[in-house]
Structure formats: structure tokens, C-alpha cells
Amino acid sequence: MRLCAGLDVSSFDMNVCVINQEGAIVARFTVSNDYPGAAELKDRLIHLSLSENATSLKIGLEATSVYSFHPSMYLHHDDELKAYETQVFVINPRQVANFKKSYADMNKTDDIDAFVIADYVRFGRNQMSIVKESQYVALQQLTRARYHLIKGLTREKQHFLQHLTYKFSAFKDEVNSSVFGAAMTELFSEKFSLEELAELPLEDLAAYLREKGRNRFPDAEVVASSIKKAVSESYRPDRVVEDSVDVLLATSIELIRSYQLQIKELDKSITRIMTGLTQTVETIPGIGPVFAAGILAEIGQVDRFEDESKIAKYAGLYWRKRQSGRFIAEDTSLSRQGNQYLRYYLVEAANSVRRQVPEYHDYYKKKYHEVPKHQHKRALVLTARKLVRLVDALLRNHQIFTPDRGVEI
């Protein structure tokens, strides 16, 4: 006998529906969504398993952000439940919603939702949603936080450049140096006016750049000269406007430095977790610690997936077929329903790998020239799809990437 339990989770409670393998309801009840409630849920599931002579227990709940995290981890790691061959599945709400459409005229209530989740699990449509092990969950929290910090850093740099144009209109065209280097950010933090920079002797400006750049400016005089030239070609904003822009530039610089510091701290924590994981993804040329951590964090233990096609679908790297009668559409759009983080890391990794691995470089070029439009984007996504097969093979077979023989994929 197999029992299936569906949990409709909210911030306050969990509505539970337990059915047997024939689909008959065995029990319905509600517990609070906290530690005592989870303990009560466990005890009642064990009691039901004993009374029904169950040989296995499957528990399903929707991925409802932080609300489903704690109960899923509690139930997954409980030793008493493991005695009943318990499996816990965290399911995409969209999949449950689509499954619910097969029922005619069904209302939207918590009790009904719990039953639908239990029935979804009973039909076995949940092979790739089993809960991740703790180290992958921890890694995922860190890599996703890093992802959002990088997005914030990029956005703040764009704001900085926009403000800079108001103050120093010719800077980007004339100065051949990183705007965000240590010396340049210090220069803008000092709130020099354009007139002050114009009057500053070239030798003093070059010495300033060398000092703030910690002597990493081999051509400080050339950069100083280009700054002076940019000053002479820039518009002179009103003093009130220039003062306000100086405040915005200084604020942006502080935010950028804060982002960079936080990213550095996250990288240390990510490195510590990665050290304890057995993985060979980093042996692929072009995949460094950042991409490897992001891919592993989202995939988790590779055995959660039946094969590489399931990983690709989980990442949203697949195209829906459109066919009616004898008509088969050739131009179909990429699915956008998968894990956006995994898709991001796979696509970015593919862009790096194709620059270093000849096989992937040739594959990218071939796909690039197959179509007249969206060439780079299409070729890159297809290369990422090819990379999925390699990543799956390395993780599943514990292989190290070797360009001479590669892996069987």
C-alpha cells in the first residue's frame, strides 16, 4: 500500500489531504506551519502509515517561497519518516495548476488544493522535484543572493555613468581608462570641479593617479593628459547642477564599493561550501568557480533528474512543438517557464566555454549561420543545451573533462 499526502502550505498553516494508491481519501486535517505543527504532522502521517499498512509514503507540497522551505526540509530529514520510505517533493505551482484543469468544475479552496497535490503525486508526475540536500540548499541561497547583488552592481554602475555624463560630458570618449578603477573613483569622490581639474598641473594629476592607483598606472601621464583634454572639451554645467551631480556620484561610488565588498564576502562562503562538494564541472575550460557554483546550486544532487533532458526542461532550455495535422511549425519560441537562475548560469557558462573548447566553438558557429536573425542568441541557447549533456555526464559518471576523449554524451 502506498500513501500520498498533499500539503497546501500558507504562512499560518498547512492543509493536509492523505489518499491511498487508488485515490480514496484516507484523512484530512490542518496543522500550524511551525515546528510544533510539523511535529504533529509527522506523528499523524506515521500513525496513518501504520493503520493503513503502508509500505511507502510520498509527500508533495508546492514551492511557495519561504513558507514551504522549512516543512519540506523537516519532513525530508526526519529519521522516523525514512523508515516508511518517505519521499518529499517540492512541486512547481504551475504544474499543479495545469493538472487541476483536468478536473471538471473544481472550486479553489485549501482542502481541494491539498487533494489535487496529493493526486498529482499519486500519478507520479514528480520525478525531478525531490527536495535538495542541505549543502545544495545553502549554496543556492548564497549564489542567488550573489546573482541579485551583481544585478544591483550593474544597475548602479549604469546610474553612475549617467550622472558622470552630466558633469563630465567628454570623459567616456576621451579617457582610455576604467571609470571604476580605484584611482578614478577616488578622483570623483574628491568632488573636483571641472575648473579645478583644468587648473591642476599635469604632473600633479599624474602623481595623484599613481598614488590612488597604488602605482598600478604605468602610463599615468597619458591618462592624466587625456583627462585634461576631456575637461577642455566638456560642457560646463551650472554650479548648482554640478554640486548636486557630485553628491550623486559620491553616493553611487559608496554603493558600488558596498556591493563589491558584499560580493567578496559571499564568494568566501560559496568557496567554503564548494570545497566540501564532490564535483567535476570546474574541469570544463571556461567554467570557473562562479558558474560552477551557480549550476550546482540549482541542479542539486543530479540523481533528482531522470536524465539530461529533464535538467534542460527544468532550466527552460527547450522549445514547444506546434503541430496540427501535417503542419509542423519550424519557428517556435524558447520556453520561459523553467528555473531562470539555472538557465542564466548555463547560458553564461556556454558563452565562456565556446571561446575555449573547439568543439563548442564550431557548434556555436554552425548554429549561428543557420538562421538570418537572432543569430547570437539562438546559437548561444543551443550551445547551452549541448552543455547540459556534458554537465550531466560529468556529474552522473564522476568524470573529469578531457578534451582528447571528452565524455560519452
pLDDT at 327: 40
pLDDT confidence tier of residue 182, bands split at 50, 70 and 90:
confident
Q: Which of 116-130, 159-173, 379-393 has the highest mean pLDDT?
A: 379-393
Q: What integer best gives the mean pLDDT of the chain?
A: 87
* Minimum mean pLDDT range among 153-157, 204-208, 218-222, 245-249: 218-222
pLDDT at 185: 84
Q: Which domain holds residue 89?
A: 2-131
Q: Is the pLDDT of residue 9 over 50?
A: yes
Picking from 56, 59, 46, the residue whose alpha carbon sits closest to that of residue 89 is 59
One-character DSSP codes across 284-308? STT--HHHHHHHHHHH-SGGGSSSH
Q: Is residue 152 in some structural domain?
A: yes
Q: Is residue 353 in some structural domain?
A: yes
- The pLDDT tens digits for 221-261 are 888 888 888 888 888 888 888 889 889 999 999 999 999 99
Where is the domain boundary, 112, 131, 150? 131
Q: Is the pLDDT of residue 95 over 90?
A: no
- Grid cell of 195 as nine digits: 575648473
DSSP designation for 217: -
pLDDT at 104: 67
Does one domain contain both 102 and 152? no
Does one domain contain both 286 and 356? yes
128 or 180: whose pLDDT is higher? Answer: 180
pLDDT at 108: 64
pLDDT at 328: 43
Q: Is residue 226 in some structural domain?
A: yes
pLDDT at 127: 52
Does one domain contain both 253 and 297? no
Instruction: For residue 20, give Cα distances in angstroms to 91, 117, 244.
Output: 19, 13, 69
Average pLDDT over residues 262-281: 93
Residue 352 parent element (H or E): helix 340-353
pLDDT at 291: 94
* Minimum mean pLDDT range among 10-19, 320-329, 341-350: 320-329
d(CA 263, CA 146): 6
Does one domain contain both 123 and 218? no
CATH code of the domain containing 230: 1.10.287
CA atoms in the 13 A half-sphere facing the CB of 84: 28
Instruction: For residue 397, give Cα distances in angstroms to 70, 246, 392.
Output: 32, 56, 8
- The pLDDT tens digits for 51-93 are 999 999 999 999 877 888 899 999 999 999 998 889 999 888 8
Does one domain contain both 157 and 119? no
Residue indicated by cell numbers 560646463:
236
Q: Which of 36-40, 104-108, 196-200 has the highest mean pLDDT?
A: 36-40
Does one domain contain both 311 and 366? yes
* Minimum mean pLDDT range among 69-78, 278-287, 327-336, 365-374: 327-336
Does one domain contain both 234 and 126? no
- The pLDDT tens digits for 310-345 are 999 889 887 655 544 444 445 555 666 788 999 999
DSSP lists the bridge partners of residue 2 as: 56
Instruction: For residue 332, give Cα distances in angstroms to 27, 55, 288, 303, 322.
Output: 45, 45, 32, 30, 7
Q: Is residue 409 in some structural domain?
A: no
Percentage of the chain modeled with pLDDT above 90: 51
Does one domain contain both 110 and 158? no
Does one domain contain both 199 and 112? no
Task: State which amino acid sits at residue 215.
Answer: N
pLDDT confidence tier of residue 183, bands split at 50, 70 and 90:
confident
d(CA 291, CA 289): 6
Does one domain contain both 10 and 84? yes
Domain count for the chain: 3
One-character DSSP codes across 120-137? HHHTT--TT-BPPPHHHH
pLDDT at 107: 63
Phi then psi for residue 31, to 5 deg, are: -130, 160
Where is the domain boundary, 99, 131, 163? 131
Q: Are 121 and 3 in contact (CB under 8 A)?
A: no
Q: Is residue 233 in some structural domain?
A: yes
Where is the domain boundary, 84, 106, 131? 131
CATH code of the domain containing 33: 3.30.420.10
Does one domain contain both 297 and 258? no
Q: Is residue 288 in some structural domain?
A: yes
Q: Is residue 99 in some structural domain?
A: yes
pLDDT at 334: 60
Q: Is the pLDDT of residue 126 over 60?
A: no
pLDDT at 321: 55
Does one domain contain both 321 and 217? no
Residue 176 sits at the vertex; the CA angle it makes with 175 and 181, to the nearest 5 degrees, is: 95
Q: Is residue 362 in some structural domain?
A: yes
Average pLDDT over residues 86-113: 81
